[in-house]
Structure formats: structure tokens, C-alpha cells
Amino acid sequence: MSAALKVRQARLPPDVNRILFVRNLPFNISAEEVRRVWIGGVATKALQGDPVSGQMYEIFGKYGAIRQVRVGTSKDSRGTAYVVYEDIYDARTAMEHLNGFNVQNRYLILVYFNPSKRRANANLKAQEDALKATQAKHGVDG
């Protein structure tokens, strides 16, 4: 049995999925640049001369086919991105190799996207707001 087949048959931890959340990206990478570079997993001719976008494609694209990339553009989400790979094993390989990778003097931080944790945090915020409203209604300091 080949080594690649053994890796594919290995049981993955439950938190592993094909969506990576990337933090600490350089701020000068725009969503449009990344979107044009990653469409179909092939760099477009329009950006061949752009060193930043070309570098980002080289970094994430060499670990597998990329389905989608979403780069944060608002004040709160700048420097972050979601990278969705076609295959869960490609995402795992990228996670293992790119966590802590240096891009333009910034070290990338990668985590697997966990929607249930995000929903739990949103629910906690709603509960805190409801508690504050109830405290204000009854004149209780919290």
C-alpha cells in the first residue's frame, strides 16, 4: 500500500475541515486581487506582475485546489481570510505547513473554521445583551 493511500485512510480529528481561517495577513492584499488570482485555482494573466498576489497564490495554491477565498475588507476583518480547499486532506496539509509561515514580515496564523463555535459566541453575546437589558429594567447593577 502506498504512503499516499495510507495518509488518505488515516482517521482525521473531528475539528478538521476544508475551510481554513487565516489571520495576520498583510493589509495591502485586497479582496479583488486575491479573488482574481484564485479563480479556478489558476493565476490569471492580469496579476502575473503583482508580487503580493502571486506570492499568496504560491503559498496556498501549492497544497491543493482552492474552491474559494474570502478576504476581510472591513476595518474589523482586515488581515483575515477564509480559504476553502476542494479536499479536506489538502486543507490539513496546508494547515500543517503554513501555520506560522512568514509573509511580508508577518507570521500567518491558521485555524480550522468552526461554525458551531462561532454560533455559540454569537448566542453568548445575545444572552449578555438580554441580561443587561433586564438589569437596566429592574435597576440592578451588574
Global pTM? 0.62
Residue ranges and CATH numbers for the domains of the chain are 16-114 (3.30.70.330)
Has residue 85 got a pLDDT over 70? yes
Residue 44: predicted pLDDT: 38
pLDDT of residue 49: 42
Give the range among 17-21, 23-27, 109-113 with minimum mean pLDDT: 23-27
Which string of b and e fits 63-75 if b means at least 16 CB within 10 Å?
bbebeebbbbeee
Return the H-helix or E-strand segment holding 22: strand 19-23
Range with lowest mean pLDDT among 46-55, 62-71, 86-95: 46-55
The arithmetic mean of pLDDT across residues 111-123, rounded, is 76
